Amino acid sequence: MAEDIHDRQKVKVAPSVLSAHPLKLESQVRQVASAGADMLHLDIMDGNFVPNLTFGPAAAKALSSMNLLPLDVHLMVSAACLDWAVPAFAEAGARYITVHQEVTPHLSRTLRSIRELGVRSAVALNPSTSPDFLPYVLDEIDMVLIMTVNPGFGGQAFIPAMLKKIEVVREMIDRAGVQCEIEVDGGIDAATAGEVVAKGATILVAGSYVFSASDPGAAVCSLKMCSRGR
Ligand code: DX5
Ligand code: ZN
């Protein structure tokens, strides 16, 4: 039963354009799309929730208009931004919108508002955030994003303690019998991909491993290979 829900043969890869070369963005997106990437992960940082600034809705719309890959929008923004950011990124064409558990006391309301806009909803957990709240929102989400580094920057080292959290979240989802992806984000490479998939991850976000490679398409293929049969 659990294996039906969590099909390890179908692990998805979502390259994070945070690590793409800004002057080669279009060609690099085409490379990962041709190689079989499943989504494009877009990190939205507001300089407040995290110490970095990245993309706005116009960039999301431009990527979406390429019609190559669905957009996986990861909002690393404070509560004050959510009311405008959620509809703006929905309008820009997001397939998933992820909000952080840590930013709002009204998580359930925000998750519902994402679905009401026709977008798949997801919640992200920082490395120090307990997943204990998850059973109370599992009916309102399509994906859990487990941060495997502290959010804000690409190129950081994977935090091994997150393997246990992936396992715990996998058990929660299987016990509830719901359809819910487990996405991992941060420090994913050929070595860590197999480990997270073995614990139950179904979507791998990878930034520097993919876009620092001489061939980003080959890097996407290698992540898919590393996750097979785990
Ligand atoms: C970090 C971002 C990640 C980042 C991952 O805050 O959420 O999506 O791009 O980068 P790597 O794969 O280089 O750790
Ligand atoms: Zn991210």
- Look at 3-17, 114-128, 138-152, 199-213 and tell me which has the smallest mean pLDDT: 3-17
Q: Report how far ligand 1's centroid is from the alpha carbon of 4 (Å).
A: 29
Crossing angle of the two packed helices 190-199 and 216-227, in degrees rounded to 10: 40
Q: What is the mean pLDDT of the chain?
A: 95
Judge if the beta carbon of residue 15 lies within 6 A of ligand 1: no
Evaluate: CB of 100 within 6 angstroms of ligand 1. no
Active-site option among 38, 43, 46, 142 = 43
Residue 150 Cα: closest atom of ligand 1 = 6
pLDDT band at 230 (very low <50, low <70, confident <90, very high): low
- Ligand 1 atom closest to the Cα of residue 207 is 12
Q: What is the CATH number of the domain that holds 57?
A: 3.20.20.70
**Mean per-residue pLDDT, 140-156:** 98
Protein residues placing their CB within 5 Å of the ion ligand 2: 43, 74, 185
**Can you tell me the distance from the alpha carbon of 58 to that of 62, in angstroms, rounded to the nearest whole number?**
6
Catalytic residue, candidates 38, 72, 142, 185? 185
* Strands lying side by side in the sheet with 12-15: 12-15, 203-206, 181-185, 143-147, 120-125, 94-100, 71-76, 40-45
Number of H helices, E strands in the chain: 9, 8
Determine whether the shortest distance from the Cβ of 155 to ligand 1 is under 6 A.
yes
Catalytic residue status for 174:
no
Over the stretch 43-72, which tens digit does the pLDDT of each residue have? 999 999 999 999 999 999 999 999 999 999
Q: Is 185 an active-site residue?
A: yes
Q: Average pLDDT of 185-189?
A: 98
Q: pLDDT band at residue 226, thresholds of 50, 70 and 90?
A: confident
How many angstroms from the chain centroid is the CA of residue 190? Answer: 17
Range 134-140 average pLDDT: 98
Distance 42 CA to ligand 1 centre (A): 10
Q: For residue 227, what pLDDT is reported?
A: 79
Asked if residues 124 and 95 have their Cβ atoms less than 8 Å apart, the reply is: no
SS3 143: strand
Give residue-wise pLDDT tens across range 203-214.
999 999 999 999
Amino acid identity at 64: S
Query: Which three-class secondary structure state does DSSP give residue 96?
Result: strand
Mean pLDDT in residue range 138-145: 98
For residue 186, give the ligand nearest its CA: 1
pLDDT of residue 10: 85
Please state, for a pLDDT cut of 90, what percent of the chain lies above it.
Answer: 93
Question: b/e string for 48-63 if b means 16 or more Cβ within 10 A?
Answer: ebbeeebbebeebbeb
Give me the residues paired with residue 122 across strands.
98, 143
Q: Is 204 helix (H, G, I), strand (E, B) or coil?
A: strand
72 lines ligand 1 (CB under 6 A): no
Ligand located closest to 154 CA:
1
C-alpha 154 – ligand 2 centre gap (Å) = 9
**Structurally, how many domains does the chain consist of?**
1
What is the residue with the minimal CA distance to atom 4 of ligand 1? 154
What tokens appear for 127 in the block?
A: 């490395």
Q: With 60 as the cut, is the pLDDT of residue 191 above it?
A: yes
Give the model's pLDDT for residue 6: 52
Confidence of residue 22 (pLDDT cuts 50, 70, 90): very high
Ligand 1 atom index nearest CA of 156: 14
Is residue 81 pLDDT above 60, yes or no?
yes
Q: Indicate if ligand 1 lies below 6 Å from the C-beta of 51.
A: no
Domain extent for 121: 2-227
Q: Assess whether pLDDT exceeds 50 at residue 5.
A: no
The predicted model scores a pTM of 0.96
